[in-house]
């Protein structure tokens, strides 16, 4: 333990009593998850990347499919980028999988395909920050390194009855030092997972802790002071910007028109249904097709939908249009059934409209 960690834990010595009851609870209550049953470094790494911004229940089928398609780091490094996007289709935050492949290529080049066990080496890889490096090092290699995510920040804030703003770097650093001092060296990975599990299953966010189910309730200063539901403290979220869009589902001879987004920015490089900003009429939508050289044979409106990004909301209306044949404009393609099922990944932002494609697509 570093001297600064020792000094910090000396101010809260009772935190050292957390690991015993917490690990006993974890041994009884931990969820059975595929990356826990086989906690190889690669499986732990992929699971941690998938679980960023994604619920466990949603990630499970993606994890199983990913492991079947790409069972080794070498397979990931060599995979076709379009296959990667297809495997990730619907999970969102696609830069996660791009960084995953970039890191896999670095691991193959520098460490012969073996994920390193040292924090400094892990954190040097694309897409791996403090938390993910700590999770891999501790869970896969039992290194006594903390893994402090939002769940852990919430648990520690409530244990300490701390009203410090957990979004501040200095507060995160202090919480990480406390977590470091609390880790039992013989069960580092289990301890980190237990803290995360407690935050995910019992010490819930948005003012709803299940204190009656908590194995360390007797040590929790937040509960004792009756303020656990008020913690952690965060600044108000910035209001998301809203954009109105009109989406075109253009179908010709059993194919659907798609365009590729720019290589940088939101949903970078993914394929999408053509759309324009603002809500337009069916007649105006038909005129767009006329400009491309086609003629609309049938046009009907689809239900409105919305998709929420972290900083942005899309409010969409759409038209499904059958049209005569015309060459795909530059940057567009006419996608057939095989491309949509096996190669092209459509962002989940358009999931509400994907279901309106013909059955043969």
DSSP string, 86-128: HHHTTT--THHHHHHHHHHHHHHHHHTT----SHHHHHTSTT-
pLDDT at 290: 94
- At 269 the pLDDT is 85
Q: How high is the pLDDT of residue 359?
A: 65
> Residue 337: its pLDDT value, please?
85
Low-confidence residues of the chain, pLDDT below 50? Answer: none
pLDDT for residue 8: 78
Q: CA torsion sign, 46 to 49 to 52 to 58?
A: negative
- Choosing from 7, 37, 48, 253, which is the catalytic residue? 48
The pLDDT, as a whole number, for residue 96 is 94
Which of 8, 25, 26 has its CA nearest to residue 160? 8
Measure the CA–CA gap between 272 and 89, rounded to whole angstroms. 12
Concerning whether 197 is annotated as a catalytic residue, the answer is no
Distances (CA, A) of 26 to 45, 141, 192: 21, 19, 10
Residue 87 CB neighbour total at 10 angstroms: 19
pLDDT of residue 208: 85
pTM of the model: 0.89
């Amino acid at each position: 333990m570093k001297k600064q960690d020792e000094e910090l834990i000396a101010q809260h010595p009772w935190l050292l009593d957390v690991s015993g009851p917490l690990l006993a609870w974890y041994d009884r209550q931990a969820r059975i998850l595929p990356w826990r049953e086989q906690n190889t470094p690669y499986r732990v790494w992929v699971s941690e990347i998938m679980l960023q911004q994604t619920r466990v229940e949603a990630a499970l089928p993606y994890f199983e499919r990913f492991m079947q398609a790409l069972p080794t780091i070498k397979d990931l490094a060599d995979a076709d980028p379009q296959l990667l996007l297809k495997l990730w289709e619907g999970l969102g935050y696609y830069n996660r999988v791009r960084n995953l492949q970039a890191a896999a290529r670095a691991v193959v080049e520098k460490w012969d395909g073996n994920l390193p066990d040292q924090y400094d080496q892990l954190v040097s890889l694309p897409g791996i920050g403090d938390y993910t490096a700590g999770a891999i090092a501790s869970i896969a290699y039992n290194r006594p390194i903390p893994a402090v995510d939002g769940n852990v920040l919430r648990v520690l804030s409530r244990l300490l009855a701390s009203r410090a703003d957990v979004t501040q770097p200095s507060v995160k650093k202090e919480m990480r030092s406390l977590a470091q001092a609390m880790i039992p060296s013989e069960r580092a990975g289990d301890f980190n997972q237990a803290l995360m599990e407690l935050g995910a299953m019992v010490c819930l966010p948005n003012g709803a802790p299940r204190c009656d189910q908590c194995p360390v309730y007797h040590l929790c200063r937040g509960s004792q002071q009756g303020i656990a539901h008020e913690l952690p403290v965060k600044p108000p979220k910035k209001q998301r910007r809203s954009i109105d869009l009109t989406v075109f589902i253009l179908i010709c001879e059993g194919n659907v028109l798609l365009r590729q987004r720019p290589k940088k920015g939101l949903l970078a490089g993914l394929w999408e249904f053509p759309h324009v900003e603002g809500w337009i009429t069916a007649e105006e939508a038909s005129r767009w097709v006329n400009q491309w050289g086609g003629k609309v044979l049938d046009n009907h409106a689809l239900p409105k939908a919305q998709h929420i990004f972290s900083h942005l909301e899309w409010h969409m209306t759409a038209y499904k249009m059958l049209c005569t044949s015309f060459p795909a404009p530059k940057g567009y393609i006419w996608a057939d059934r095989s491309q949509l099922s096996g190669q092209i990944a459509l962002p989940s932002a358009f999931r509400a409209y994907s279901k309106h494609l013909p059955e043969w697509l």
